[in-house]
Chain A
Amino acid sequence: MIEKTQKILGAVLLHPVSVFAGMLLGCLYGWIDKGGTPLIEPAGQVYLRLLQMCVIPLLFTAVVTSLAKLFSDGSARRYIGRLIVMVLLGMVIAGSLGLLLGEWGEPGAELQQQARTIIGEVIFRAETGSHTAAGASNPADIVLIAVGIVPENIFVALSTGNMLAILFFAVLFGVALGSIGKEKSERAIVVFESLYETFIKIIAWLMYVLPLGLFCLAYSQISAIGMPILVAMTKLVLLTYAGCLALVAFSFVVIWVRMGGSIWKPISTLRETIFVAFGTSSSFAAVPAALRGLKDGLKVERNVVDLVMPLGITLNPPGSVFHFAIATVFLANLYGVDLDAGQMAYVLVACVLAGIAASGAPGAAALSMISLVLVPLGLPVEVAIILLVAVDPILDPALTVVNVQANAATTVLLGTPRRGASPVGVAKAEA
């Protein structure tokens, strides 16, 4: 009886309609209530923290286990070159789409006086109201970021959540574990695998509360959106959403072409990942769902999923690259600056670099990486950051979905045999 009830409850709570309904109701209530109910926001934060609680150990054990296995059987070399090419290609596609949409839609050109007034007020209030915005306007120091990738103390990096440093250590640890010989590494790999499965189990339990969690998170997100600035920057918001939709659709087509079968299969398998990414605006929170979807639903090679997804989420943010590209054109429009072909090429390269730098930075600091693109163009960084922070609550969910989905597509490209081809590496890796 209890088992039956659990099954029914699970079927209801994990159903996409429940998850979607939770998010939609959260949006609607947030819109009407405007943050008036005090307990909803903390409840959403608790849920987000629960999801994120397991992310660092999960990523660490996933990367270590997969690399150790791939290196111990010698199949790792096959992936590295392809992975780098695909990641770079993905970011160049996203950045190019951002530039194209920006050039076509001109989101910052010919704004109405009312919109300019609203934007002016937002900038003024941000500059006078807090020192954070002014502080964030300082250009990102790429050398400091590069130095920070190597952790001085891995336990400090783990406790402070320095993702790039943790990933650097995990890669090194995994490669070393895979290189010490199977006899010595086997038991350690089993331990890491058990830990990994344990974290996945915790996340699986948390998925039962997803509709409620998304209700709370969507409520907070909607309450945080400043409507006047959203209206003033409508064109940028709409173009960004259109671009995100195109990139997500493109990634599904890539998965479909690679795997064959029905286009609906990847969509239905990865829907939970998309909901979590959109609802939490956190790529990391969506990783466990993505790992499960890719491995259990799409049957992508396990070691590739456990390696590429965590690496990609940390180092491959095509959503951020797209965002920086379209935001740069927006700002150039706003100040009547025409970008020539050479400057466009520069923007594309700089957006890729800024995107990578942003992937390791938290919150608003990630947005400040746009300074890497704007400073050499002579465009005002402080205005860009203030405006991007102002519309971040509405754009971040869509950009997070792009980041997660693009990495899922990269994982499928690397970990699934081409249609008609023999399953390369799977047998070896799983042996």
Chain B
Amino acid sequence: MTALAFAGLAKAQDSSAAIERIRQKGVLTVAMFAEDVPPFFYKDQGGRLVGIDPGLAEDIASKLGVQLVFNRSATTFDGVVDEVEAGRADIAVSLLSDTLDRARRVNFSRSYVSVRQFLLINRLELGKLIAKNGGGRADATAIPAMLNDQASSIGVIGGTSYVGFLKEDFPKARTVEFETWDAMLAAVKAGQLVALMYDEIEIGNWRLADPAGSLELRPFHLAGHPDTIAIAMNRNDPDLKAWIDLYLQKVEGNGFLASILNTYLYSTDRVLTND
């Protein structure tokens, strides 16, 4: 009993040491996905890393009174979680979905933004599906129901939370995992996939990069499937989680978070649907 009490105390001392540890190092190491994903993290024209996540990370480091260092070694989003779990980064601020699977390995803060799940559907393949189903409506409930079929191949990027979302939302459809966005986009354009599934960020980026693309592909918001984004930290750092939750509560209250989201995420050219 006494041994257990001592073990608990020791753990609590370790746990409460996270902020102290960072302050003593003088450095906050933030894990971030290797590739740029505007508007969450990308290099501006001057080569400076900007976006929602660097903005938050810089503010957190400054509030802790330490330097900021990015660890961008992870080439998948699950890999970003690995960096935090292994202690190679203090936190991850990297458009990270707070899935239940990931939450078994790391702690998540309260969510600071919610992005919507989207399908990008090949219009001609959808037309064939509608014809096969004898016409009918092509609305918010009919399209997902039509796509949830063994004959439908839907693409997703491997190592992202969307692998799980896809299996959950379209259990009957065939999941095709891709390593890169470009390969997945080419497959859906060629009609090898009826659709791909990703967040509104990537779909918005595609829209800006390929304005003619709407002729072939149709963005489709999967209503009622929000993808909540949060900051990850090591499970042994509960003091850091409490501090970051408090930090997020305060920046939500004082308007800093809204201002950063309005600057990067909700500019009019990025809006996909007005629902």
Residue contact A382 to B138, C-beta cutoff 8 Å: yes
Do A138 and B139 touch across chains, with their CB atoms under 8 A apart? Answer: yes
Using CB atoms, name the residue of chain B closest to A139. B135
Q: Which residue of B lies closest to A113 (CB)?
A: B212
Asked whether, in the complex, the Cβ of A127 is within 8 Å of the Cβ of B211, the reply is: no
Determine whether the beta carbon of B215 is less than 8 Å from that of A123: yes
Chain A positions 36 through 61: 1 when the CB is less than 8 Å from some CB of chain B, otherwise 0: 00000000000000000000000000
- A376 CB–B CB distance under 8 Å: yes
Shortest beta-carbon distance from B219 to chain A in Å = 8
Quote the shortest CB–CB distance from A332 to chain B (angstroms). Answer: 10
Contact with B137, one of A123, A139, A337, A377 (Cβ below 8 angstroms): A139
Bound complex: CA A120 to CA B214 (Å): 5
B112-149 CB mask vs A (1 if < 8 Å, else 0) is 00000000000110111011000111110000000000
Chain A residues near B211 (CB-CB < 8 A): 117, 120-121, 124
Residue of B whose beta carbon sits closest to that of A380: B123
CB of A339, distance to nearest CB on chain B (Å): 14
Q: Does B267 contact A (CB under 8 A)?
A: no
Q: A330-374 vs B: 1/0 string, CB under 8 Å?
A: 000011010000000000000000000000000000000001001
Across the interface, do B215 and A134 meet the contact criterion of CB distance under 8 Å? Answer: no
Q: Is A313 at the interface (CB under 8 A from chain B)?
A: no
Contact A377 B131 (CB under 8 A): yes
Task: State the Cβ distance, A386 to closest chain B Cβ, in Å.
Answer: 10
User: Which residues of A are found within 8 Å of B272, using beta-carbon distances?
Assistant: 128
Please give the distance in Å from A328's CB to the nearest CB on chain B.
13
CA distance A335 to B122 in the complex (A): 11
**Could you tell me if B138 and A123 are in contact, using CB atoms closer than 8 angstroms?**
no
Residues on A with beta carbons closer than 8 Å to the beta carbon of B254: none
Residues in A neighbouring B218, C-beta threshold 8 A: 127, 380, 382
- How distant is A380 from chain B, measured CB to nearest CB, in Å? 4
Determine the residue in chain A with the shortest Cβ distance to B139.
Answer: A138
A138: chain B residues at CB < 8 Å are: 137-139
Distance in Å from the Cβ of B6 to the closest Cβ of chain A? 61
What is the count of residue pairs linking A and B with beta-carbon distances less than 8 angstroms? 74
Name A378's contact: one of B131, B207, B214 (CB within 8 Å): B131
Q: B274's closest neighbor in chain A, by CB? A: A128
CB of A235 within 8 Å of the partner chain: no
B123 to chain A: closest CB distance in Å?
Answer: 4
Known: A335-B124, A380-B123. A119 touches B138 (CB 8 A): no
A contact face: mostly helix, strand, loop, or mixed: helix
User: B176 contacts the other chain (Cβ, under 8 Å)?
Assistant: no
In contact, A378 and B130 (Cβ under 8 angstroms): yes
Q: Given A128-B272, A128-B273, is A380 in contact with B127 using a C-beta cutoff of 8 Å? A: yes
Are B139 and A380 in contact, with the CB atoms below 8 A? no
Instruction: Assess the B212–A117 pair: CB atoms within 8 A.
Output: yes
Are A120 and B138 CB-contacts (below 8 A) given A127-B218, A129-B274, A380-B126?
Answer: no
| A383 within 8 Å of B (CB atoms) | yes
Q: Is the CB of A295 closer than 8 A to any CB of chain B?
A: no
Complex interface: chain B residues within 8 A of A381 (CB): 127, 130, 138
- A124 & B207 in contact (Cβ 8 Å cutoff): yes
Query: B123's contact among A113, A116, A383, by CB below 8 Å, is which?
Result: A383
- Is residue B213 within 8 Å, beta carbon to beta carbon, of the partner chain? yes
Which parts of A125-142 form the interface with B (CB within 8 Å)? 127-129, 134, 137-139
Q: Which residues of A contact B12 (CB under 8 A)?
A: none
Contact of B214 among A121, A374, A379 (CB under 8 A): A121
Q: Which of B138, B215, B271 contacts A128 (CB 8 A)?
A: B271
Contact present for B127 and A116 (CB under 8 Å): no
Is A375 located at the chain interface by the 8 A CB criterion? yes
**Residue among B123, B271, B273 with max Cβ neighbours from chain A (10 Å):** B123
Q: How far is the CA of A184 from the CA of B40 in the complex (A)?
A: 82
The reply to whether A375 and B135 form a contact with Cβ atoms under 8 Å apart is yes
Q: Which residues of B contact A116 (CB under 8 A)?
A: 212, 215
User: Whole-angstrom distance between the alpha carbons of A61 and B263 in the complex?
Assistant: 63
Chain A contacts with B in 247-299, Cβ cutoff 8 A? none
A-B contact pairs, 20 of them (CB 8 A): A113-B212, A116-B212, A117-B212, A120-B213, A120-B214, A124-B207, A124-B214, A128-B274, A139-B130, A139-B135, A335-B123, A337-B124, A375-B127, A375-B130, A378-B124, A380-B127, A381-B138, A382-B123, A382-B138, A383-B215
Q: A-B pairs with the 8 shortest C-beta distances?
A: A120-B212, A380-B123, A116-B212, A378-B127, A124-B214, A378-B128, A120-B214, A378-B131
Given A139-B137, A379-B124: 12 more A-B contacts, CB < 8 Å: A121-B211, A123-B215, A124-B207, A127-B273, A128-B271, A139-B130, A139-B135, A335-B124, A375-B135, A377-B127, A378-B130, A383-B123
